[in-house]
Chain A
Amino acid sequence: MTWAKRALGSEHLAGWAFVAPAVILIGLFGIFPIVWSGVISFQANDLTSPPHGVGFANYRALAKDPAFRTAAKHTLIYTVLFVPISIAGAMAIAVALNRRIRGIRFYRLAVFIPVVTSTVATGIVFLWLLDPTFGLVNWILHGLGLPQQKFLQDPNQALYCIVAMTVWSWLGFDVIIYLAALQGIPRDLLEAAEIDGASKWSSFRTIVVPLLGPATLFLTVWSTINALQLFDEIYVTTRGGPLSSTTVIVYYLYQQAFQFFNGGYGAAIAYVLFVAILIVTVIQLWVGNRRVHYSS
């Protein structure tokens, strides 16, 4: 069909025309700085005096650095917990919020508020909630007859507290994406299933969840990218402590670059992280594209 041939032939030009603005903007402000910092990773750069090249020395040091390995371990534990919990939780809450009962706007707003609340305020409040002596949570535990915990002051508990705090903070973000996605689910599909006698749960499982596939894939990739780059919440609460138990990769990078003035080393850390995230994302997309169904 000449129509198809014509369409395919002009597709390339049209395609590139559509992405052109993005290519320019992202190329300039995204790609170029990334390449630049790659150059820095091959330097000894203390951000003050003129730098000099050191080849792969930073990367070799990184391979032998036990503190980096520990930071990587913490990051992995955090990510493996944060991503599934926040996505599953968000799906459940989005379904709960996808109805027209009175006051639903208020509930939606309430769920979204933590996303918007400044990280500083969130940090202060959680530090208080989890304070071993004066905090609300220990007060509740005391009332229930359970033993007091040290939470953010216990090296064995701190990371899990951070998981809880960040899930709380980011749930609303995932929820609004799921809410938007839920609008695309044809209501008569669900009604037909109901007529056929399917339970709410099974129609949720067999209809809603698969149709939310694209959103779930998106949130999995996005949450993973973010979890692997966790920083702000650590900065406003534990600063990597107690005893480095919450030092994750980006926090370690920040210490190296801006507290210890090892700019080149920090850039090398960023690059190793970047490659790791890239690999993980590509795998997720590949698996996702095979299992996720798009157009109905």
Chain B
Amino acid sequence: MTTEPLLGVPPQQFRLDPPPEEPRRRRLPFSPWHLALMPIAAVMLLPLVWMVAVSLETDAQSHAFPPLLFPKSFQFENYKTAFNAVPFAHFFLNSLLYSLTTVAGNLLFCSLAAYAFARMRFRGSNILFVVFLATLMVPFQVLIIPTFLIVKHLGMVDSVGGLIVPNLCNAFGIFLLRQFFRTLPIELEEAARIDGTSRLGILFKIVLPLSLPALATLGIIQFMWSWNDFLWPLIIINSDTHAPLQLGLSMFQGAHAQHWNLLMAATVMSQLPMLIVFLFAQRWFVQSLAFSGMKQ
């Protein structure tokens, strides 16, 4: 072969092992980086701290102004009350279904399209790419009514399908993945083509395994968008049976005089899955072996 295998191992045997440990001498019990990261983390966490504090207070305390960051009472039963006040578990499952299917859909359809834009030359691809991007440039408020009419013609008003289908493929994901795919060393793919692997095979066996950080990122972001979506469910869903979480939470929000303690308890509960997804997915923010043995 004229080119060295650019990994230590052929692509198919690539595994996602935890990266090797840093040399012993760098392992201080207390890294100086903590000094930089702690204040940043503190600033970032302030609203969450407020939310949790309010969620444990009584109703009157939750309206105290300035707010109490250290709750005066620890009404953990607020969580139970909030959970029981609305069909929480039901909303939760609807949101889960909505979020997981849109993540799966985006990962699949955006990968296919992004790969085509990144590596394949076909007539009209540049214009098509810009047309796709253009769909990100119009504020959703303007698109509500036409989108609703389309979903109505498909017979999907007031169903989870009506939530999901318009969000199965987002130009954002195509753009993101295209950028990442283009950073991958093209030699790997060319080698596989010479070996006779189909384009589809290259995508699934080479490109995607090397793009786990990007896929994880897209997954997190799409999950978040679906999970936090409020406006579209508001318009399309009429019945409690199909309502996802954020829509359900609005039951805690009158325009005046809200029970902030219950609202925040419900909000904290509703945001937990997001954080779990993030913790889970950030495992893939790890340098893949493919790049550790690279030679120029």
Q: Do A and B bind each other?
A: yes
- Closest chain-B Cβ to A192's Cβ sits at a distance in Å of 9
Is B292 located at the chain interface by the 8 A CB criterion? Answer: yes
- Closest chain-A Cβ to B64's Cβ sits at a distance in Å of 10
Out of B44, B180, B264, which one reaches A172, CB within 8 Å?
Answer: B44
Set of chain B residues within 8 Å of A218, measured between Cβ atoms = 175-176, 179
8 A Cβ contacts from A238-260 to B: 250, 253-254, 257-258
Is B183 located at the chain interface by the 8 A CB criterion? Answer: yes
Distance of A24 Cα from B168 Cα, bound (Å): 11
Do residues B112 and A294 form an inter-chain contact, with CB atoms below 8 A? no
Is A112 located at the chain interface by the 8 A CB criterion? Answer: yes
The answer to whether A8 and B121 touch (CB under 8 A), given A19-B128, A214-B179, is: yes
Set of chain B residues within 8 Å of A198, measured between Cβ atoms = none
Set of chain B residues within 8 Å of A47, measured between Cβ atoms = 145
Set of chain A residues within 8 Å of B287, measured between Cβ atoms = 182-185, 187
Query: How would residues 270 to 296 of chain B score, 1 for a CB under 8 Å from any chain A CB and 0 otherwise?
Result: 010011001100100111100111101
The answer to whether A274 and B138 touch (CB under 8 A), given A21-B112, A29-B166, A111-B40, is: yes
- Closest chain-A Cβ to B260's Cβ sits at a distance in Å of 8
Distance of A118 Cα from B110 Cα, bound (Å): 27
Set of chain A residues within 8 Å of B51, measured between Cβ atoms = 117, 121
Do residues B137 and A214 form an inter-chain contact, with CB atoms below 8 A? no
Distance of A273 Cα from B134 Cα, bound (Å): 11
Do residues A93 and B40 form an inter-chain contact, with CB atoms below 8 A? yes
Is A88 located at the chain interface by the 8 A CB criterion? Answer: no
Do residues B292 and A188 form an inter-chain contact, with CB atoms below 8 A? yes
- Closest chain-B Cβ to A3's Cβ sits at a distance in Å of 8
Contacting chain B: which of A56-64, A76-84, A148-156, A221-229? A221-229
Is A102 located at the chain interface by the 8 A CB criterion? Answer: yes
Is A116 located at the chain interface by the 8 A CB criterion? Answer: yes
8 A Cβ contacts from B87-127 to A: 108-110, 112-113, 115-117, 120-123, 125
Do residues B175 and A15 form an inter-chain contact, with CB atoms below 8 A? no
Question: Interface size for chain B: under 10, 10 to 19, 20 to 34, or 35 or more residues?
Answer: 35 or more
Distance of A273 Cα from B137 Cα, bound (Å): 8
Nearest B residue to A18 via CB reads: B116
Out of B141, B169, B217, B274, which one reaches A116, CB within 8 Å?
Answer: B274
The answer to whether A187 and B291 touch (CB under 8 A), given A7-B193, A214-B183, A270-B138, is: yes
Out of B50, B115, B213, B228, which one reaches A180, CB within 8 Å?
Answer: B213
Distance of A195 Cα from B28 Cα, bound (Å): 22
Do residues B66 and A33 form an inter-chain contact, with CB atoms below 8 A? no
Do residues B185 and A18 form an inter-chain contact, with CB atoms below 8 A? no
Set of chain A residues within 8 Å of B116, measured between Cβ atoms = 14-16, 18-19
Distance of A135 Cα from B293 Cα, bound (Å): 53
Query: How would residues 187 to 216 of chain B score, 1 for a CB under 8 Å from any chain A CB and 0 otherwise?
Result: 000000100000100000000000001101
Is B147 located at the chain interface by the 8 A CB criterion? Answer: yes
Do residues B179 and A15 form an inter-chain contact, with CB atoms below 8 A? no
Do residues B146 and A180 form an inter-chain contact, with CB atoms below 8 A? no
Is B10 located at the chain interface by the 8 A CB criterion? Answer: no
Out of A117, A189, A231, A295, which one reaches B47, CB within 8 Å?
Answer: A117
Distance of A131 Cα from B65 Cα, bound (Å): 10
Set of chain B residues within 8 Å of A180, measured between Cβ atoms = 180, 213-214, 216-217, 285
Do residues A173 and B221 form an inter-chain contact, with CB atoms below 8 A? yes
- Closest chain-A Cβ to B167's Cβ sits at a distance in Å of 8
Query: How would residues 107 to 136 of chain A score, 1 for a CB under 8 Å from any chain B CB and 0 otherwise?
Result: 111111111111001101100110100111
Query: How would residues 199 to 216 of chain A score, 1 for a CB under 8 Å from any chain B CB and 0 otherwise?
Result: 000000000000100110
Do residues B120 and A96 form an inter-chain contact, with CB atoms below 8 A? no
Do residues B45 and A187 form an inter-chain contact, with CB atoms below 8 A? no
8 A Cβ contacts from A25-78 to B: 25-26, 28-34, 36-37, 47
Distance of A225 Cα from B224 Cα, bound (Å): 19
Out of B31, B135, B167, B288, which one reaches A183, CB within 8 Å?
Answer: B288
A residues bordering B, Cβ < 8 Å? 7-8, 11-16, 18-19, 21-23, 25-26, 28-34, 36-37, 47, 93, 96-97, 99-103, 105-118, 121-122, 124-125, 128-129, 131, 134-136, 168, 171-173, 176-177, 179-189, 211, 214-215, 217-218, 221-222, 225, 229, 231, 250, 253-254, 257-258, 266-267, 270-271, 273-274, 277-278, 281-282, 294-296
B residues bordering A, Cβ < 8 Å? 19, 21-22, 31, 33-34, 36-37, 40-41, 43-48, 50-51, 65-67, 108-110, 112-113, 115-117, 120-123, 125, 128, 130-139, 141-143, 145-147, 149-150, 165-169, 171-172, 174-176, 179-180, 182-186, 193, 199, 213-214, 216-217, 220-221, 224, 228, 246, 264, 267, 271, 274-275, 278-279, 282, 285-288, 291-294, 296
Apart from A105-B279, A181-B180, what are 10 other A-B pairs with CB-CB below 8 Å? A19-B128, A22-B132, A101-B33, A111-B41, A116-B275, A131-B66, A134-B65, A179-B213, A180-B180, A229-B137
3 closest Cβ pairs, A-B complex: A15-B122, A30-B135, A180-B213
The contact sample of 5 A-B pairs, CB cut-off 8 A, is A8-B121, A22-B113, A117-B271, A186-B291, A257-B141
